Amino acid sequence: MFKILEKRMLNPTICKMVVEAPRIARAALPGQFLIVRSDEKGERIPLTISDFDREAGTVTIVVQPIGLSTRKMVDDYKEGDSFADLAGPLGNPSDFVSMSPEELAGKRYVFIGGGLGTAPVYPQAKWLHERGVAVDVIVGARNKDLIIYEDEFRGACDNLYICTDDGSQGFKGVGTAQLEALVAEGKSYTNAVAIGPMIMMKFATLSCKKLGIPIMVSMNTLMVDGTGMCGACRLSVDGKTKFACVDGPEFDGTLVDFDEAMRRNAQYKEEEALANGK
């Protein structure tokens, strides 16, 4: 059993949970995910690790209740309750984890996080920042009430840029527009990472390609089984079939067929609606 040590709502729709899982915490690296099964009859839910503490033996997950299982996790489970199973860490770490200190020394990263995707940006930015790598983070949401992880990023990057669609906080516009504005002002980046809604990552990739910045994107939203057995997370990368869970979850954005991925991402909408009684 895996005890929930902390649970709080980050905004009206996104919940953060800190879970006791010492073995996963010891092995976790930025970019990886785990699978949660809330009870013995529960669905397997792949969730990106949004933080880990090796000393405390904890991992942090962030959940948005969309389907029936994630809604039960948020509505029914409280601090002190336990999940039946946590499996992980799974997937490949972010590519920079394997870089030497010499390779990292010349890097300047920009991260673009949108909505729920802001949470898994945090361990990546923190990992790089702790090693002296220059890191800027762009966080986007529809309005200021939906921004998450703002305080956490203050100590995990060099510069934090908040973007809101309605202009209620920070830059008025989407994260890609903020990135282009920063580059126009003289900022330069060697690498970019975008995590968030599929359409956001597609346009972030288009912007970075125009700006000449290599970009990695996370395809974790496609995952269902999380082990490569179900095939639900198939996507085309450079014309080849890949699986987000075992080959990723991060890929070179310029090689991803986003239109195909977005169609696949919508494949279970009818089933989700039925499960939620709609």
Q: At 152, which CATH number?
A: 3.40.50.80
Say whether pLDDT at 1 is over 90: no
| Residues 117 and 149 occupy one common structural domain | yes
Q: Is 119 left (phi over 0), alpha (psi -120 to 50) or beta?
A: alpha
Based on the domain organization, do 13 and 115 belong to the same domain?
no
Mean of all residue pLDDT scores within the chain: 92
C-beta of residue 195 within 8 angstroms of C-beta of residue 119: no
3-state helix, strand, coil in the chain (%, to 5): 35, 30, 35
Q: Distance from first CA to last CA of the chain, Å, rounded?
A: 33
What's the pTM value of the predicted model, to 2 decimals? 0.91
Domain identity same for 111 and 77: no
| pLDDT at residue 73 tops 60 | yes
Residue 239 pLDDT more than 80?
yes
pLDDT reading at 85 higher than 60: yes
116, 178: one domain:
yes
226 pLDDT band (50/70/90 cuts)? confident
Model pLDDT, residue 42: 81
What mean pLDDT is predicted for residues 159-168? 96
pLDDT confidence band for 19 (50 / 70 / 90): very high
129 and 192 both lie in a single domain: yes
Question: For a pLDDT cut of 90, what percent of the chain falls above it?
Answer: 82
Q: Are residues 100 and 192 in the same domain?
A: yes
Say yes or no: 108 and 196 in one domain: yes
Same domain, 208 and 225: no
Q: Do 24 and 85 share a domain, yes or no? A: yes
Instruction: Give the range of the structural domain holding residue 141, as residue numbers without chain letter.
Output: 95-214
Long-range contact pairs involving 257-260 (C-beta distance under 8 Å, separation at least 24): 258/198, 258/199, 258/201, 258/202, 258/205, 260/235, 260/236
**Structural domains in the chain (count):** 3
Name the pLDDT band for 272 (thresholds 50, 70, 90): low
Query: Is 124 found in the same domain as 99?
Result: yes
Q: Which of 214, 231, 263 is the last residue of a domain?
A: 214
Do residues 137 and 113 lie in contact, with contact meaning Cβ atoms separated by under 8 Å?
yes
- Domain end marker among 170, 188, 214: 214
DSSP lists the bridge partners of residue 256 as 237
Residues 18 and 76 in one domain: yes
Q: How far apart are CA 189 and CA 204, in angstroms?
A: 14
Domain boundary among 214, 233, 251: 214
